[in-house]
Amino acid sequence: MAKPLLSGRVFTCFIRFALLLGGMMLVSAPLGRVPVHAQSTGQQNQQGQAPAAQQQQPDQNAPDAGGPSGDNGVIALPKKKESTDEPPAPPAPPEPKFKNPENFPTTSLRVEVPEVTVDVGVLLEKTHQFVPGLRPDNFRVYEDGVQQHIEGFRRTEAPITALLLCEYASRETMAGINFRMQMLNTAWAFAQQLRPQDYVAMMTFDLNTHIVSDFTQDKQQIFQGINELANEVWMPAAFQETDVFDALNESLDRLSRVQGQKYIVLIATGIDSMSKLTLDQMLKRVKESRDITIFSISTDGFFEAMTQGSGGMMGGMRDMTFLQADNQMKTFSDLTGGMHFAPRFVGELPDDVKAINENIRAKYELVYHPTNAKQDGTWRKLRVELVDAEGNPLRMQDEKKKPLKYQIIARDGYRARQEVE
């Protein structure tokens, strides 16, 4: 029997060693070469995809029968729900503060929008009665021929502030006495229609002016002054000449310091003897007046009626002088929106004075912003018209449907403010 090459123990150790060596060779095999699927994974890794993620995903190239096919597209993630509790808005940034440089005073900008107020009186020509019940659309205001938009409208009836400016010269002729008596009767008739809330003053003039009564609400002071002038108890007149331009200019200066709407009732012949101001200067002064309306009553109407057309050449010159004086007084009234009267008989005075009172107390006040907003100190011509609903000239009639003529009393114009440079 042949002897074995190796003993049993040695053979067992040999088998174990061989098994151990074979296992090591199997483990080291992946390190020696790269499998095919590993090379594909490496290429994908170079394209930016994770190989581990693809190795973990199941193979979807061969789905089961009836199962969904593989979807390798873009995955749409569900949109998150917006929270109803929105955060509060951030606070507004603080306003920038301007700090004046040193030694620089604080200044402000003021923009003035021109505003024109026109007082309009509408009176019947025959009775001088005020016409009530007119509406804003019945009025049209034109400034330098351009229609203006009326933005404010109201009817006013308020206490008055008036100055009685009376000619009182020391003429002892028949004409001079007549002028003085006409003046006193007119002043008395006006004072009788005063109301307790009215403020009235009285001033006379020859070459100089004389204050008979300062502004007062006591009518008895005005009556007392008229009585003293009539009885020559207080006789301020020392000259036969009359300077109506200077007296009117002084009256405008005095009233310019009084607030609100004021009125001058000029009772005179209108003849000017030797005033310092010329007629052109006086007209310019009247145009520049603000919130002052002049009503004028001529005291030479009766004398003109008695002497007109008599006396030859001297009479003609006299008539021309009175006619010029009346035209001057009428111009003063027209420029300021007043009225002029030349009564020839004493019986006309109550109606004339009543018309003045009604026109002063009852007026329509129109307010507009001129289209020409320049403050250049120029004279602006005004014209007021009355129209019906269709834009035609307004017609009035009495109860018997007879046409009534009316008169529109308003300023001829105003002077714009001069912008201060």
pLDDT at 247: 96
Cα separation, 410 vs 46, whole angstroms? 100
Closest CA to 122 of 137, 132, 135: 132
Distance between CA atoms of 166 and 268, rounded to whole angstroms?
Answer: 6
Contact by Cβ (8 Å): 160, 193: no
> Exposed, middle or buried by CB within 10 Å (0-12, 13-18, 19+), for 412?
middle
Vertex 124: Cα angle to 302 and 156 (nearest 5): 110
Domain ranges in the chain are 114-157+362-421, 158-361
Residue type, 330: K
| 270: region left, alpha or beta (phi > 0 left; psi from -120 to 50 alpha) | left
pLDDT of residue 332: 94
Top-level CATH class of 158-361? alpha beta
Residue 384, pLDDT score:
95
Neighbours of 269 (CB within 10 A): 26
Q: Which residues contact 207 (CB under 8 A, 6 or more apart)?
A: 238, 239, 241, 242, 243, 273, 274
**Lookup result for tokens 């190239």:** 61
Q: What is the pLDDT of residue 77?
A: 44
pTM: 0.62
Q: What is the pLDDT of residue 48?
A: 43
pLDDT in tens, 161-209: 999 999 998 877 777 788 888 999 999 999 999 999 899 999 999 999 9
Residues of the chain whose pLDDT is less than 50? Answer: 1-3, 5-6, 26-77, 421
Q: What is the pLDDT of residues 109-151, one digit of tens each?
A: 555 668 999 989 898 887 777 888 899 999 999 999 999 999 9
Which of 421, 416, 420 is closest to 373 using CA atoms?
416
Query: For 371-403, how does the pLDDT look when each residue is reduced to its tens digit (9 = 90+)?
Result: 998 888 899 999 999 999 999 999 998 888 889
Pairwise CA distance, residues 229 & 235, whole Å: 6
